[in-house]
Chain A
C-alpha cells in the first residue's frame, strides 16, 4: 500500500494508471447499473475524468 502511495506521489505510471482504470470501470458500471438514476447522472463525468487521466498518466515514467 505504501509503495502504491509513494508511486502516486512520485507521479509513476503504474499506480496512476490503476487509479484511472478504476475510475473508468466505476463510470461504466454507474452508466449501466439499474439501481439509481443519480449514479447514472454522474457516470459520464467519472468516465471522462478516468479517460483523460489515463491519457495523461500514460506519458508518466514507469
Chain B
C-alpha cells in the first residue's frame, strides 16, 4: 500500500476529530471551503460599502474623531448634486471616458485584426505592442510628463515635424484646451494593448471553416468582415469596453502623475476630486456621499452592460 502525504495526515488526525469530519455532509464541507472567501468578501467589500453609505448621511470628519457626529440626512447629496465644480468634474470624466474607450476599441481592434493575419515576426510584434501595458502607471505618467515638455519633449517635436511651427509654441499638459487630450493620449497608449489582447482572443476563436464556407459562397472580404468577424468578436469587444469603462471611471494614478488634475480643474476626474475631498479637506461624510453617487452610477451601467453582453453571447 502506498502512503501518500494525505494518508499520513489522515492517520495523524485524532480519532474524535476524524469522526467529526467524516460525519459532515458534502454541503457542509463545501461551506467550510467557501466560508473564508465569503468572510473576506464581507469584511473587505460589503462592510466598508455599508459603512460608507452610513457615513454619507453624517457630517463625520476623520481627522476629528472626537467631534460629535450629527445625522445630516440628504444634505451631503444635495451639496454634491448642486455643486457646479462637481458637475465640471463629471464632464471632464465623461470626456476622458468616452474618448479613451472609442480610441482604444478602434485602435485595439485594428491591431488585433492585423496581428491575427499570419506573418513573420507576429509574436515579436505582439510582445512589443503589449509592452506599455506592463509598465506601472506612475512610471508611464512620469516619462510622458517629460515627453510632453515643450522645450525638450519629443512629442512636440514629432507634432511640429508634421504640422510645422515652433515645438515650444504649445504645451500639452499646461494648456487648458490640450490637457484633457494629453491624458486621453497617454491612457490610450497604455491600455490599447489590453483591448487588443481581448480582441485577438476573440478573433482567434472564430473557426476557419466559417470563412471557408463564406469563400465558397463567394462572399467578399468586406462582407465576411461585417457578417462573420464583427458579430463573432462582438462579445469580446463588449467585454473590453466594460473593463476599460469601469477602470477609466476610477482612473487616478496616471492622471495625478501627469497633470495633477490641472491646469485649473480641467483634468480633475471624479476619483481625484473624491480623494481631495476625503484626504485633503477631510470631509469624510461628504466624500462618502460622493463615493456612493459614483458607485450607483458604475453599478447601474455595469448591470445593463452585463445584460447586453449576455444577450449578445446567447445569439
**Residues of A with Cβ closer than 8 Å to B?**
17, 20-21, 24-25, 27-28, 31-34, 37, 40-44, 47-48, 50-51, 54-55
Q: Are B300 and A32 in contact (CB under 8 A)?
A: no
Cβ contact of A47, chosen from B87, B93, B300, cutoff 8 A: B300
A40 to B78, CA, bound (A): 11
Q: Are A34 and B296 in contact (CB under 8 A)?
A: no
Given the complex, which residues of B lie within 8 Å of A48, measured CB to CB?
Answer: 296
> Any chain A CB within 8 A of the CB of B8?
no
> Any chain A CB within 8 A of the CB of B82?
yes
Q: Are B301 and A24 in contact (CB under 8 A)?
A: yes
Given the complex, which residues of B lie within 8 Å of A40, measured CB to CB?
Answer: 81, 87, 90
Q: Are B90 and A31 in contact (CB under 8 A)?
A: yes
> Any chain A CB within 8 A of the CB of B252?
no
Measured between C-beta atoms, what is the minimum distance from A41 to chain B in Å? 5
A50 to B299, CA, bound (A): 11
A40 to B270, CA, bound (A): 14
Binary contact track B49-93/A, C-beta < 8 Å → 1, others 0: 000000000000000000000000000010001101001001101
Q: Are B293 and A44 in contact (CB under 8 A)?
A: yes
Q: Are A24 and B300 in contact (CB under 8 A)?
A: yes
Chain A to chain B contacts (Cβ below 8 Å), 15 pairs: A21-B304, A24-B301, A25-B304, A28-B301, A31-B297, A32-B90, A37-B82, A40-B81, A42-B81, A43-B81, A44-B293, A44-B296, A47-B297, A50-B300, A51-B296
The B interface, classified by DSSP as helix, strand, loop or mixed, is: helix
> Any chain A CB within 8 A of the CB of B22?
no
Given the complex, which residues of A lie within 8 Å of B81, measured CB to CB?
Answer: 40-44
A43 to B77, CA, bound (A): 11
Given the complex, which residues of A lie within 8 Å of B82, measured CB to CB?
Answer: 37, 41
Q: Are B307 and A32 in contact (CB under 8 A)?
A: no
Q: Are B87 and A37 in contact (CB under 8 A)?
A: yes
Cβ contact of B304, chosen from A24, A32, A34, A41, cutoff 8 A: A24
In B261-315, the 8 Å CB interface with A consists of 293, 296-297, 299-301, 303-304, 307
Q: Are B297 and A27 in contact (CB under 8 A)?
A: yes
Greatest chain A CB density within 10 A among B84, B91, B94, B296 is at: B296
Q: Are A54 and B297 in contact (CB under 8 A)?
A: no
**Contact (A28, B87) CB under 8 Å given A21-B307, A41-B81, A54-B304:** no
A20 to B307, CA, bound (A): 12
